[in-house]
Amino acid sequence: MGQTTGIVQNSGHSSAVEKLGKQVVTYSRAHTLVPTYECFNRCTYCNFRAEPGRSPWLRLSDVAQQLPMLRQRGVCEVLVLSGEVAPGSPRRADWLGHIRQICELALEAELLPHTNAGPLSQAEMAQLREVNVSMGLMVEQVTPKLLETVHRYAPSKRPEVRLQQLEWAGELGIPFTTGLLLGLGETESDWVESLRAIATIHRRYGHIQEVILQPHSPGQHQLQPRMALGESALVRAVALAKEHLPADITLQIPPNLVSHTGLLACLAAGARDLGGISPIDEVNPDYDHPTPESLRAAIAPASWQLHPRLPVYPKYDRWLPAT
């Protein structure tokens, strides 16, 4: 195929991790680039966003300067994580083009882009598919009652919009990551409903690599204070995901949002991936990421082994576009 496939192959990608056994936990050596923090949504729990027009866009010259240093540090994944310019805004096309250029620069530096930029049109997804090895969007929760509370001023958090994104990703053949945000005021039955919705779409297309189970963790910048989700509830969510999702979807938990004890309990319940590990968690900036070395030491006493992976899983290599 083309450049994208070649970079994956040159990264030493293989299915070796999949063959190591059930005591393996994976993670990606990642670095997050934020094209802009501005977002037209106003979720009450968000610690990421800035008001529209008040966040300078990341300069491409700064991106080009950073990328070679990232590769030297062993980074393989560039997570392009953006706030959302509103659909219909006269700046929307420039925003999407800016994201695409960042991905192109990453590929030129032999790094692998994974973009999460909120809901996109099918045409926008098709454009970004050409310059990404995988993409993502959190479902969060499919219950509409959150539109009356934490998502009241967040038009792109409508469940039908989020699920449509998963459908389009399947139609376009995009390896995809999605997930649930837990502790927003939803119930356990809401978790099950959300998991079943994801499972239904995956059974149709087979494109969902990972489902993230992210506990709400209070931060300094959210509009309304909320309690953190308890770790016992997170472990229960992992068990439910194991029960209701197809076995070929990997369950991911953020290691910076759990204690060592909670981490081990989640692994015992069925989690097998720790996501992209980078110095800063842009979504939860009050919670520093642990290092791979500290994670390896934390899970070793329970006989778990930590192994790096790429942002595209081996079985999806043939889906990669020629760019």
- Which residue in the block uniquely carries the two structure tokens 């997930």? 179
Q: Quick one: pLDDT band at residue 19, thresholds 50, 70, 90?
A: very low
- List, in sequence order, every residue forming a beta bridge with 31; answer none if it has no partner: 78
pTM (2 d.p.)? 0.94
Percentage of the chain with pLDDT > 70? Answer: 93
User: What structural domains does the chain harbor?
Assistant: 16-313 (3.20.20.70)
Which of the residue ranges 69-73, 258-262, 318-322 has the most confident prediction, judged by mean pLDDT?
258-262
The yes-or-no verdict on residue 133 having pLDDT over 50 is: yes
CA–CA separation, 257 and 45 (whole Å): 15
Alpha-carbon Rg of the chain, whole angstroms? Answer: 18
Q: Which residue in 28, 39, 26, 29 sits closest to 283, CA to CA?
A: 39
Predicted confidence (pLDDT) at residue 17 exceeds the cutoff of 70? no
Positions of E strands within the chain: 24-33, 77-81, 112-116, 134-136, 176-182, 208-215, 250-252, 273-277, 305-309
pLDDT of residue 270: 97
CA distance 205 to 173: 8
